[in-house]
């Protein structure tokens, strides 16, 4: 086998692998998965009776840091009263960035 062809093929393989890895790191968590993670976190404190999430990520600044996030909401029934919460989930990692109780 010709060494030049072998080294050329190996170089192309490394370049393709690096490009794919770079593109994978820029991809977002699916919004459905982000909602599922948020619901699981809220369920640790009690039952969830409703939920929603915007499918398009948006940019949010918090503590002088900028995040690409999904915005969503959770409704919980506590003592027969509905409590609503708005949350922000990091679109890259799926981590909950912020939670606010809404009126």
Convert the pLDDT of each residue in 72-99 to its tens digit.
999 988 888 889 999 999 999 889 999 9
Closest CA to 33 of 98, 102, 96, 100: 96
Cα-based torsion angle of the residue sequence 97, 88, 34, 102 in order, rounded to the nearest 10 degrees:
120
d(CA 58, CA 16): 30
Give the DSSP H or E segment for 95: none
| The predicted structure's pLDDT at residue 36 | 93
Q: Report the DSSP pairing between strands 65-78 and 50-53.
A: antiparallel
pLDDT, tens digit (0-9, with 9 covering 90-100), for 32-79: 999 999 999 999 888 899 999 999 999 998 889 899 999 999 998 888
Does 3.40.50.300 match the CATH number of domain 28-102?
Answer: no
- Exposure of 83 by Cβ count < 10 A (0-12 exposed, 13-18 middle, 19+ buried)? middle
Domain boundaries of the chain, sorted by first residue = 28-102
């Amino acid at each position: 086998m010709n060494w030049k062809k072998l080294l050329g093929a190996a170089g192309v393989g490394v370049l393709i692998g690096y490009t794919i890895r770079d593109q994978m790191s820029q991809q977002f968590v699916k919004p459905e998965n982000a909602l599922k993670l948020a619901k699981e976190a809220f369920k640790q404190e009690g039952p969830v009776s409703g939920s929603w999430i915007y499918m398009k990520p948006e940019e949010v600044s918090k503590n002088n840091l900028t995040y690409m996030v999904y915005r969503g909401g959770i409704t919980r029934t506590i003592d027969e009263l509905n409590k609503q919460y708005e949350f922000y989930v990091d679109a890259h990692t799926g981590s909950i960035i912020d939670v606010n109780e809404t009126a």
